[in-house]
Structure 1
Amino acid sequence: MSETRSITTATSSKRAQRLSDQQGRPGGSRGMRVLVTGILVVVAVYFLVPVYWVVIAATKSTEDLFGSNGFLLGSEFSLWSNLHEVLTYDGGIFVRWFGNSVLYAGVGALIATYLAAAGGYALAKYRFRGRDLVFGTILGGVLVPGTATALPLFLLFSQMGLANTYWSVLLPSLVSPFGLFLCRIYADATIDDSLIEAARIDGASELRIFHTVGLKVLTPALVTVFLFQLVGIWNNYFLPLVMLSDSTLYPITLGLNNWRSQVDRLPEFYELTTGGALLSIIPLAIAMIVLQRFWRGGLTEGSVK
């Protein structure tokens, strides 16, 4: 009996040693890490090169913009003068466009995220007749591009007297079918029914359970939805183009395109356009840096043993 145990122990030790040797060898796992790292570096360069070009272009005068290498500094560093021109041109119209974009994107993304969270939580945690039909309709909304609904919305808002107003751009931004779909899937996977039952036993109302339990657990999904919606609204061009005719209501995207359309007769608009493009990406970069910690911090919210 003792000999059998010894043989078994020796065999197990050899297997463990063989497994550790295989893991320690420079083999496929290391090569895969190198491959993945290389792909990520290429993707990062692909996305960062345009940003680098915008930063460099914003430091140049019109002559240097066309007379020097696009990825190198020009003979004259004109960043501050270019930014001053951007902020003061035409009575500071760019500041107005910037504020409009903050209104459209900030308020729209915030309300859209809350509505998506509420709808996703309800579809995931409540059983009611027609729930699957509602969810299927929402999935259909995900497949419809925003450009396909812009003209019907314009006709509808024109009849309601809302065209060429802040509401014509803000109201369509309050709905995010993709955000609701994501929140529904995330809530179904992460919010344990025992948490909801415990809150009900403690006497909490359904609305309070949603705000105190549901929103905390949904934090990573909410940050994702908010950033997607923020970037989508901030970069939206076609909807404001269709809805707005008053330049004081323009967002940054429409305003910069208005400047770019004038470069043929006024070359100095190149400087205004590149400087404005640089300023337009700063809020998105700040939002990404500030909110990324909530992806990590929200993963353990509401965890159950």
Structure 2
Amino acid sequence: MVATPTLRVPAPRRSRLSTPSNPRRSPLLTVLTGVVLLYSLVPLFWLLINSTKNQRDLFSTFGLWFGSEFSLFENIGRALTYDDGIFVRWLGNTVLYVVAGAGGATLLAVLGGYALAKFDFPGKKAVFAVVIGAVAVPGTALAVPTFWMFSAMELTDTPWSVIIPSLISPFGLYLMWTFANQAIPGDLMEAARIDGASEFRTFWQVCLPLLAPGTVTVLLFTMVATWNNYFLPLIMLRDPDWYPLTLGLNQWNSQAGTAGGEAIFDLVLTGSLLTIIPLVIAFLFLQRFWQSGLAAGGVKE
């Protein structure tokens, strides 16, 4: 008998492509992610640790560890009651600027982005060019002209001098423009109009739910920008009663350098900790809305 040769089929090579079930590991990317994580968390850890120290321990103990006394709650109480509770007023001013400024900027960005994405009108390309140009202009470059304009209208040293400029967000408008262009199918709007829905009802009941992820994104960007705004209130406001938290904490920090001023660095750190807590809560609350719209792309063009 003649032995028949057996054919050996080579085993299939393992795919090196990254898939959701078999992600490819990158040690370099893991190390870089760890470095970025440390870079982001160490300042927060330092702030949290030093907010628990009294004035003496701030300068006599290691910065990344606790002091001899745990004074966090005492520092919080002093920060909220110091100088007749001016910190609480600064906090209220900041909330006012965020609600009116960031909320209004988000509303205008949603309305403007939807209109630019889904309607045609003369001069649309010119508006697009203006928006792109406005995104490239830094806010500090417009601060001084804005001050002169508000000074001529006698609106400086009032909350309006901070709120009105905060209503303009070119980046938010551009972001909502591009998002609405992709998230809202044209056939979905046509179906609503055929069913007899008005333009307002089409926007409110059909399109606005699809814009929720983009709206939350713009809201977070404008909220953080307004909450951390420093330069605009610095040139617009003179009365400390209208200061936001950024200016107020800077005033506390520079208080030790003035003649007869009291050094309250422990309250500055505690106030800074209290300042970031609302932002953290806002991110945790809004992140459930920060997801792709379920109906986006549901209708094929």
TM over 0.5, shorter chain: yes
Tell me if 1:94 matches 2:83. Answer: no
Deviation (angstroms), 1:303: 4.4
One-letter amino acid of the counterpart of residue 282, structure 1? I
**CA–CA distance in structure 2, aligned partners of residues 113 and 177 of structure 1:** 11
Residues 124 and 184 of structure 1 are in contact (CA less than 8 Å); yes or no, is this contact kept in structure 2?
yes
Query: What value does the CA root-mean-square deviation take over the aligned residues?
Result: 2.1
Tell me if 1:143 matches 2:136. Answer: yes
Q: Once the two structures are superposed, what CA deviation does each residue of 1:57-106 show, in whole Å capped at 9, x if it has no partner?
A: 11111111111110000011111111111000111000000011111112
Deviation (angstroms), 1:31: 3.5
Residues 62 and 267 of structure 1 are in contact (CA less than 8 Å); yes or no, is this contact kept in structure 2?
no
Pick from 36, 42, 48 the counterpart of residue 35 of structure 2. Answer: 42
One-letter amino acid of the counterpart of residue 126, structure 1? F
Pick from 177, 188, 191 the counterpart of residue 198 of structure 1. Answer: 191
Deviation (angstroms), 1:293: 1.2
Deviation (angstroms), 1:127: 1.0
TM-score normalized with structure 1 length? 0.89
Pick from 157, 180, 193 the counterpart of residue 187 of structure 1. Answer: 180
Residues 176 and 214 of structure 2 are in contact (CA less than 8 Å); yes or no, is this contact kept in structure 1?
yes
Tell me if 1:154 matches 2:147. Answer: yes
In structure 1, runs of 5+ residues without a counterpart are 1-9
Tell me if 1:281 matches 2:276. Answer: yes
**CA–CA distance in structure 1, aligned partners of residues 284 and 25 of structure 2:** 31
Runs of 4 or more, structure 1, over 4 Å off, are none
Deviation (angstroms), 1:267: 5.4
2:100 alignment partner in structure 1: 107
**CA–CA distance in structure 2, aligned partners of residues 35 and 220 of structure 1:** 32
Residues 260 and 273 of structure 1 are in contact (CA less than 8 Å); yes or no, is this contact kept in structure 2?
yes
1:130 alignment partner in structure 2: 123
Q: How many pairs does the alignment contain?
A: 288
2:3 alignment partner in structure 1: none
Deviation (angstroms), 1:23: 4.8
One-letter amino acid of the counterpart of residue 163, structure 1? T
**CA–CA distance in structure 2, aligned partners of residues 24 and 234 of structure 1:** 43
Deviation (angstroms), 1:41: 2.3
**CA–CA distance in structure 1, aligned partners of residues 17 and 141 of structure 2:** 55
One-letter amino acid of the counterpart of residue 200, structure 1? R
Q: Once the two structures are superposed, what CA deviation does each residue of 1:221-251 show, in whole Å capped at 9, x if it has no partner?
A: 1111111101101001000000000100000
Tell me if 1:18 matches 2:12. Answer: yes
2:266 alignment partner in structure 1: 271
One-letter amino acid of the counterpart of residue 188, structure 1? N
Deviation (angstroms), 1:302: 4.5
Q: Once the two structures are superposed, what CA deviation does each residue of 1:162-202 show, in whole Å capped at 9, x if it has no partner?
A: 11001000011111100000011111112100111011111
Residues 175 and 214 of structure 2 are in contact (CA less than 8 Å); yes or no, is this contact kept in structure 1?
yes
Tell me if 1:304 matches 2:280. Answer: no
1:238 alignment partner in structure 2: 231
In structure 2, runs of 5+ residues without a counterpart are 1-6
1:291 alignment partner in structure 2: 286
**CA–CA distance in structure 1, aligned partners of residues 225 and 100 of structure 2:** 13
**CA–CA distance in structure 1, aligned partners of residues 38 and 213 of structure 2:** 26
1:116 alignment partner in structure 2: 109
Deviation (angstroms), 1:29: 5.9
**CA–CA distance in structure 1, aligned partners of residues 124 and 245 of structure 2:** 39
Structure with the larger helix share:
1
Deviation (angstroms), 1:214: 2.1
2:55 alignment partner in structure 1: 62
Q: Once the two structures are superposed, what CA deviation does each residue of 1:111-167 show, in whole Å capped at 9, x if it has no partner?
A: 111110111111111111110110110111111111111111111111111110010
**CA–CA distance in structure 1, aligned partners of residues 17 and 137 of structure 2:** 50
**CA–CA distance in structure 1, aligned partners of residues 96 and 37 of structure 2:** 30
